[in-house]
Structure 1
């Protein structure tokens, strides 16, 4: 124990004597560890955020296509449906004895690049994200009037809309559209709190509102000679004929698979029912190659940091030959010299890991609002997971092993070799 304390003191004094070099090495390892652990945390939280885009719904039902395609356009607002579902088929599923609730979704219009979603008030009661969080309003209320619109947080922030602002919806998808429903503008009545999901990038209106603005349109163009005003449209029968998709919540989870099979085998209309969790996992597996590439890059950065430390120690080893020889001459054994250099490497790596953790959490604290508002990923200030601690432990072990290389070289030096003056 006494020898161990002596070695630790020698290691600390040796590093302090070479504090400038040691500090630069520590900073290099610290930044490497910050990137390595940071990529792992971002990867984990991004995956969690991705998986928690929708929670609480047991099925997503749309026109028959592919699972991922249905998930993309119904939840992530990416792409379009191959076809729509009739209102009669929707009501057939809605009235099923095992169905607790349904939320219809109708897509097709946009506003300055943001998707417009037609739905019912049940959307605000049943849509869940994250750990079954309900949608909450930052300002205002739900849509009640025919031409009311509720905005996602990003839409309101990026376009500068407030409660009472007027909005004109365009037919189709895109930033620039010449087919606009200018005769039937909407009024902002609510702005949702930020969720970090596609809800933030969506404008929400009622299904009846979508019927009203398309009452004098057909196949994407206005019907010649037919011009129905906003007031006249409000007095008409606005029962939807078709919807894009709908979410289903079941009374019994056991009945989910039976209903899914019934919908997929429905003969009168080609429909597809998918389990959100399964489809989300399939989609993540498709894009998972990117996270593996990020981990590989960050691991290479850590290796580069450790190689840099090895280079510094080996470079300084020639200057420390006399120091090693003096230690040998006063009784230090060769294996103790090896252990001394390995301890130096381990201590530098350990301090570098600590510095990297400090940099990472300081960076997260500063970047949290930016990441959440611009990327939609919330990274909490939680301690590293067991897996992440294992990764950090592996870095320390690798750093210690790196120190054995110069330690072995010093082990082979003799006292006479250290005292020899080389020209």
Structure 2
């Protein structure tokens, strides 16, 4: 124990260099744990982008493609689904609720989704969290009402009562707009950290109304055009939708209904389980995830090499100190153990400071990260895996400490009590 106290005294004598070395290790440890914590929570957040939905149904394509355009608003559907096909499964005894979705238009780079009131009632994200309005109300009987996601409202500075014009297609800059049928902002959703924040929500009737005088992707001209007031008095039941989500009365019937949808003879459709498709999509990004983790490991290695360099650099300067220790009875292995203790103390101080720095950063940034990126970073004790990483760092520091310890051992034997400078 006296050797450890002696190591602490030696570090205190070189406190400026020791503090810088410990700080470098602390930063690297903080980065490693932060990457691991964000990686873990991002995976959990990614998996909870949608929750409480048993099946997502769309035109037959690939499961990842269906997930991307229906949940993440990325890409486009290969085909639409007839409205009567949706009604057929929405009225199935196994189905508790159904949310239709119609995509294809945009507004200043943000996607527009036509849906029903069931979307605000049944759509869930995170840990079974329902959508909530920050202000206003959901769209009602008027087809030209829009509910904005939080990011859309914030980025474009919209408020209740503002008018906006939707564009045809999903390009960031569109030359074809539905400027004869403007929409009124009636509600703004609370931030969720999911693609909902980047979506404009209108009714299926509204989606039908802006396209009612379109033929083959081209708006009618002259007398063929339908005004907004005329559209309000017309039957706005959609002929087709892009996809729909289903919540079932019993989880047991999920696979049976999935097979029924996939084998539906009315038109080619496919049903996917959101959780399975999310894991499949996440696996596609595993390479980048592992690369980020490897980079953070190399940062830790750099910090430990800095510690090794600092100790090795000080060896020649401390040869007189070691000779004095030998003169008072220290053996060469005492000198070697002293340096191992110094390396371990620096690493331990860096690890403790790194963990403390991590929690400080989480406490400061927790609310911002959750509200803007949908990632919840808990102020919890390190997980078993994180403890393993910290133990690995200390073990690596102990091994690196053996290098200057061996050199000091050899120098101590060579110098004896006569120091040669």
**Bin of the TM-score, shorter chain as denominator length:** over 0.9
Q: What residue number does 1:236 align with?
A: 234
In structure 2, list runs of 5 or more residues that go unmatched: none
Q: What residue number does 1:178 align with?
A: 175
Q: What residue number does 1:196 align with?
A: 193
Deviation at 1:408, TM superposition (A): 1.8
Deviation at 1:90, TM superposition (A): 0.6
TM-score for the superposition, normalised by structure 1: 0.96
Q: What residue number does 2:260 align with?
A: 262
Q: What residue number does 1:319 align with?
A: 317
Equivalences for 1:36-75 in 2 at 5 Å?
36-75=32-71
Q: What residue number does 1:217 align with?
A: 214
Taking the aligned partners of 1:193 and 1:380, their CA distance within structure 2 comes to: 21
Q: What residue number does 2:292 align with?
A: 294
Native 8 Å contact 2:332 2:413 kept in 1: no
Root mean square deviation, CA, Å: 1.5
Deviation at 1:338, TM superposition (A): 2.0
Q: What residue number does 1:120 align with?
A: 116
Q: What residue number does 1:398 align with?
A: 396
Which deviates more from structure 2 when the two are superposed, residues 410-419 or residues 278-287?
A: 410-419
Q: What residue number does 2:163 align with?
A: 166
Native 8 Å contact 1:324 1:418 kept in 2: no
Deviation at 1:394, TM superposition (A): 1.1
Deviation at 1:73, TM superposition (A): 0.2
- SS of the equivalent of 2:420 reads coil
Native 8 Å contact 1:166 1:186 kept in 2: yes
Taking the aligned partners of 1:121 and 1:383, their CA distance within structure 2 comes to: 42
Taking the aligned partners of 1:168 and 1:219, their CA distance within structure 2 comes to: 21
In structure 1, list runs of 5 or more residues that go unmatched: none
Q: Deviations over 1:128-156 (max 9, x none)?
A: 11111001111111111321111111001
Q: What residue number does 2:154 align with?
A: 157
Report the number of matched residues: 419
Taking the aligned partners of 2:81 and 2:155, their CA distance within structure 1 comes to: 33
Deviation at 1:356, TM superposition (A): 1.5
Q: What residue number does 1:107 align with?
A: 103
Deviation at 1:38, TM superposition (A): 1.2
Q: What residue number does 2:5 align with?
A: 9
Taking the aligned partners of 1:208 and 1:31, their CA distance within structure 2 comes to: 55
Deviation at 1:421, TM superposition (A): 4.1
2:357 counterpart (356, 359, 375): 359
Q: Deviations over 1:75-127 (max 9, x none)?
A: 00000000000011111111111111111111001000000011111101111
Which deviates more from structure 2 when the two are superposed, residues 271-280 or residues 388-397?
A: 388-397
Deviation at 1:220, TM superposition (A): 2.5
2:225 counterpart (221, 224, 227): 227
Q: Is 2:53 the partner of 1:90?
A: no
Native 8 Å contact 1:87 1:241 kept in 2: yes
Native 8 Å contact 1:46 1:377 kept in 2: yes
Which deviates more from structure 2 when the two are superposed, residues 243-252 or residues 313-322?
A: 313-322
Which deviates more from structure 2 when the two are superposed, residues 221-230 or residues 107-116?
A: 221-230
Q: What residue number does 1:187 align with?
A: 184
Change in Cα spacing, 1:114 to 1:416, as seen in structure 2 (3 Å) is: closer
Which deviates more from structure 2 when the two are superposed, residues 284-293 or residues 260-269?
A: 260-269
- SS of the equivalent of 1:35 reads helix
Native 8 Å contact 1:71 1:279 kept in 2: yes
Deviation at 1:416, TM superposition (A): 6.0
Q: Is 2:47 the partner of 1:33?
A: no
Taking the aligned partners of 2:290 and 2:49, their CA distance within structure 1 comes to: 22
Native 8 Å contact 1:321 1:418 kept in 2: no
Q: Deviations over 1:28-59 (max 9, x none)?
A: 11111111111111111111111110000010
- SS of the equivalent of 1:190 reads strand
